[in-house]
């Protein structure tokens, strides 16, 4: 962290749809004249001023001009803040110089990236520099992958307390989800697929469950790409679009926590579609869907109305099995649309958590669970509409 910085937070990408939502949340949580010093950032000062007015902020809220095509402006912005929050994606196209600027300045950084290939490249390029400068760089601070990363960690804490050991097998099961993936998430996923299509090494990283695990190679992981009947829960399951991102972050968290979940840890995520013939039919239909093909969905900069965002929600169960067959279940829920209601709150709370509550976390490139863990979980429960509950 950059301790003598002018600002606590700079929100880069404030003129985008998700950036505006993060700004609205920061106004609600921190105001302008409170004890958090923050600023909006983007490339167009007129648009920044308009966003400031739209979110109900006073003219006293400062803004910083920074452009992804101007690395000097990014370095200048990073030098002025303790933490830089960026919603500017796809990160494959617009994120590398931002990470570089923060790693150089010793500035904390959080993003919404689910771009596994790019993330692995950032780890290779800037992990050692971030360690030296004290920058804490944390990817995937939205719906991908906070509920899943912290959910597995929450389950394993209960397993340790109850059984004296972590569960070697954990299943993530999305029981309910109302809402659509954000335009930025879709763009990021499509950018990752485009890179992988042109580069065999990138394709291997995208399909490797341990591509973010610092060189660790664990046991074979389940194939979650086809409909399957879950004997444990008695329901049909379909592939979950965020699983290729979340599972890699969970394995990275395990590696960064000195394999607190075990070196034999096995994890998968799938979408619950129901029981019986109807559940099977829904699973088969979901598996046949190809949401990343074509140009459907929200475009970057677009999103649902406030009414739709507020009507969204999600409910994810985590089922752990121990070495002797003992079982434990926990759940994570969110009270808003996952991509547009819950995500803005999660990334803002992650940034506040880093600079306020995590002085013990050294520089480096982290996951939410390994950098902030239970401290972030408590913030999300208190402020962001998430629940973490022990079920059985």
Predicted local distance difference test score (pLDDT) of residue 303: 81
C-alpha–C-alpha distance, residues 126 and 5, integer Å: 21
Predicted local distance difference test score (pLDDT) of residue 184: 65
Q: For the packed helices 243-256 and 116-133, what is the interaxial angle rounded to 10 degrees?
A: 30
Structure token pair of residue 304: 């649902």
| Residue-averaged pLDDT of the chain | 92
How would you write the pLDDT of the chain (392 residues) with one tens digit per residue? 777 899 999 999 999 999 999 999 999 998 776 899 999 999 999 999 999 999 888 889 999 999 999 999 999 999 999 999 999 989 999 999 999 999 999 999 999 999 999 999 999 999 999 999 999 999 999 999 999 999 999 999 999 999 999 999 999 999 999 987 666 667 767 777 777 677 777 677 888 999 999 999 999 999 888 999 999 889 999 999 999 999 999 999 999 999 999 999 999 999 999 999 999 999 999 888 876 565 656 666 678 888 999 999 999 999 999 988 999 999 999 999 999 999 999 999 999 999 999 999 999 999 999 999 999 999 999 999 999 999 99
Predicted local distance difference test score (pLDDT) of residue 196: 67
C-alpha–C-alpha distance, residues 292 and 270, integer Å: 17
Predicted local distance difference test score (pLDDT) of residue 388: 98
CA nearest neighbour of 254 among 163, 134, 168, 350: 168
CB atoms within 10 A of CB 71: 15
Predicted local distance difference test score (pLDDT) of residue 114: 92
Residues 6+ apart with CB under 8 A from 134: 1, 106, 362, 363
Predicted local distance difference test score (pLDDT) of residue 292: 59
Predicted local distance difference test score (pLDDT) of residue 389: 98
CA nearest neighbour of 343 among 386, 300, 387: 386
Q: 138 with 86: CB under 8 angstroms?
A: no
Predicted local distance difference test score (pLDDT) of residue 291: 64
C-alpha–C-alpha distance, residues 312 and 96, integer Å: 32
Structure token pair of residue 339: 């991509």
Predicted local distance difference test score (pLDDT) of residue 91: 94
Looking at residue 142, what DSSP letter applies? B
- 319 pairs with which residues across the strands? 171, 329
């Amino acid at each position: 962290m950059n301790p003598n910085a002018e600002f606590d937070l700079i929100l880069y990408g404030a003129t985008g749809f998700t950036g505006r939502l993060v700004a609205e949340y920061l106004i609600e949580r921190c105001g302008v004249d409170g004890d958090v010093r923050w600023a909006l950032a983007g490339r167009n000062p007129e648009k920044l001023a308009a966003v400031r007015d739209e979110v109900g902020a006073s003219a006293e809220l400062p803004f910083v001009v920074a452009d992804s095509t101007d690395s000097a402006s990014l370095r200048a912005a990073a030098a002025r803040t303790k933490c830089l929050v960026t919603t500017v994606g796809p990160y494959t196209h617009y994120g590398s110089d931002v990470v570089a600027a923060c790693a150089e300045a010793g500035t904390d950084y959080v993003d919404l990236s689910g771009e596994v290939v790019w993330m692995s490249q950032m780890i290779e390029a800037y992990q050692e520099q971030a360690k030296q400068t004290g920058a804490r760089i944390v990817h995937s601070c939205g719906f991908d992958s906070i509920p899943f990363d912290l959910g597995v960690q929450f389950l394993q804490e209960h397993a340790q307390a109850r059984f004296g050991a972590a569960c070697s097998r954990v299943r993530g099961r999305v029981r309910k989800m109302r809402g659509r993936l954000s335009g930025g998430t879709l763009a990021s996923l499509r950018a990752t697929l485009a890179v992988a299509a042109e580069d065999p090494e990138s394709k291997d990283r995208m399909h490797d469950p341990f591509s973010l695990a610092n060189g660790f190679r664990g046991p074979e992981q389940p194939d979650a790409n086809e409909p399957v009947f879950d004997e444990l829960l008695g329901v049909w399951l379909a592939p979950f679009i965020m699983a290729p991102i979340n599972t890699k972050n969970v394995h990275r968290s395990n590696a960064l926590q000195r394999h607190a979940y075990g070196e034999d840890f096995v994890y998968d995520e799938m979408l619950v579609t129901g029981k019986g013939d109807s559940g099977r039919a829904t699973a088969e239909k979901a598996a046949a869907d190809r949401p990343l093909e074509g140009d459907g969905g929200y475009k970057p900069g677009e999103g649902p109305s406030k009414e739709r965002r507020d009507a969204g929600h999600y409910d994810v169960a985590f089922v752990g099995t121990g070495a002797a067959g003992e079982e434990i279940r926990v759940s994570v829920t969110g009270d808003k649309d996952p991509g547009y209601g819950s995500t803005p709150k999660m990334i803002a709370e992650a940034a506040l958590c880093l600079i306020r509550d995590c002085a013990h976390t050294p520089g480096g490139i982290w996951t939410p669970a390994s950098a902030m863990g239970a401290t972030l979980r408590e913030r999300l429960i208190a402020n962001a509409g998430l629940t973490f509950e022990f079920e059985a």
